[in-house]
Amino acid sequence: MSFILFTFAASMSLVSASNDSLSSLNSLISGFDDPSMGVRDLAFYLVTHNLDATPHENHVTVDLGGKIYKLVPNGSASGLCDIVA
């Protein structure tokens, strides 16, 4: 019984950590604007903030605890990028 409770508690903390990570990512990318930031610059910025970010042709993927998010630089719109998936 205690093993089941431990497993449940551990899985809930992972969900909470994932939500906290997404919240932190949102704060990080909405903190300021940079219309000249491209894919490589965005990936570099995210990596310097200890995120697992990989640049691709027109987007950056970020792995937050096994959940992959696709970020696209948004040019002159507010924030650095949009999370599209």
Instruction: Please write the tens of the pLDDT for every residue from 11-51.
Output: 433 333 445 689 999 999 998 899 999 999 999 999 999 99
| C-alpha to C-alpha distance for 77 and 85, rounded to whole angstroms | 18
Domains identified in the chain, total number: 1
The pLDDT assigned to 17 comes to 42
Domain that holds residue 74: 2-83
Q: Helix or strand or coil: residue 83?
A: strand
Q: What is the pTM of this model?
A: 0.74
How confident is the model over 65-75, as pLDDT tens digits? 999 999 999 99
